[in-house]
Amino acid sequence: MTSFSSIAARLEEQAIELPSWAFGNSGTRFKVFGTPGTPRTPEEKIADAAQVNKYTALSPTVALHIPWDKVDDYTALRTFANDHGVDLGTVNSNTFQDDDYKFGSLTHVDPTIRQKAIDHHFECIDVMDQTGSRDLKIWLADGSNYPGQADIRGRQDRLADSLQKIYDCLGDEQRMVLEYKFFEPAFYHMDVPDWGTSYAQVAALGERALVCLDTGHHAPGTNIEFIVMQLLRLGKLGSFDFNSRFYADDDLIVGAADPFQLFRILYEVVRGGGYGADSGVAFMLDQCHNVEDKVPGQMRSVLNVQEMTARALLVDSDALTAAQDAGDVLGANGILMDAFYTDVRADLAAWRESRGLPADPMAAYAASGYQQKIAEERVGGVQAGWGA
């Protein structure tokens, strides 16, 4: 098996973008719990995200959600982020909260509402121009609940037309990533329910239109690593939204439900050339923290991704290929499992210390007093959360 020392340099390439909204109050459709110290402004969200990067050096960028993170001066917001040691990343659009979008946004039968949704994405591109962001991420709640409710083919045609207008507005260095989700909030059909639909739509647009894969947006039992492989093979995997699920789109800490699945996904990322600064694949989190504190929740997630990335890099690819070519079923499986079962925590702790980072970022953060500090200082105002 490959040694940890031989992969250490590759670990330095890892960057996992944090979502601003993960630092606000969020939860289930039944209840959202408030938490002392929750940010009230985009600046406070960014300050919290910067704490994750301070202790892990894994999360140098923060994704924005418009209009949740709307400000008057995005250049000043970027300067604020830079002063805290991070930069602004992906800009996420939102066409799922206005009453006008009850029956669709980019796919709506009414051209006036459809244009409103397109114009919102033009606004997001303007934000990207000011923040220096590369990626515009689109997730649509569009769909229907009952057979016969909507013309599902006509909606695909309207989606293609809307996406083309948005794509044509992108700058030369900007990209569009189209996310898919197999159900919710629509239950009979979603307009972008799977990777194939997302791929079909973005492939028609151009090389700077790609697929975003959310690890929680699949039916139970789906082989997600196969999808990762296929999108990398086709050159259309643009980004990940990492989270974890037990039942549906749970948005839990990544690796919490099935660490082996996370390992398998990351092995295919490494195997397919999707890992590293030059790969073009953006690693991102998309989670909510309903009962746990937000900052350590995000910290736990990026550390989980780092640990499983290290294990994936430890796979002896030459030995695995030889076993596969020889038809050695158990031998090939054993090579993969040896890497998965390797405990890299002590090696990672020592490696962090060699880079001037705390061996245990979670413990270092807990001892810093930051959580108590923000709970005492952030009194009054409106806490950020879904829709704010």
* pLDDT at residue 387 greater than cutoff 70: no
- Tell me: pLDDT of 388 over 90: no
Phi, psi at residue 286, to the nearest 5°? Answer: -145, 95
Give the pLDDT score at 29.
67
Beta strands in the chain (DSSP E): 16-19, 61-65, 87-92, 135-138, 143-144, 175-179, 189-190, 209-214, 237-241, 283-284
Average confidence (pLDDT) over 102-110: 98
Q: Around Cβ 378, how many Cβ atoms within 10 Å? A: 16
Banded pLDDT at 30 (limits 50, 70, 90): confident
The average pLDDT across 183-202 equals 97
Given a cut of 60, is residue 367 above it in pLDDT?
A: yes
Dihedrals phi, psi of 64, to nearest 5 degrees: -105, 155
* Interval 20-24 mean pLDDT: 95
CATH architecture of 12-315: Alpha-Beta Barrel (3.20)
What pLDDT does 137 receive? 98
Residue 36 exposure: Cα atoms within 13 Å on the Cβ side: 8
HSE-CB for 177 with a 13 A CA cutoff: 26
Residue 33 confidence (pLDDT): 85
For residue 101, the surrounding DSSP H or E stretch is: none
Q: Which amino acid is at 209?
A: A
Token readout for 108 is: 């709506």
Task: Determine the residue type at 57.
Answer: A
Higher pLDDT, residue 30 or 343:
343
**Integer Cα distance of 233 and 230 in angstroms:** 5
* pTM for this prediction: 0.96
- In the numeric block, the tokens 């239109």 are attached to 209
The fraction of the chain above a pLDDT of 70, given in percent, is 99
- HSE of 70, CA atoms in CB hemisphere, 13 A: 12
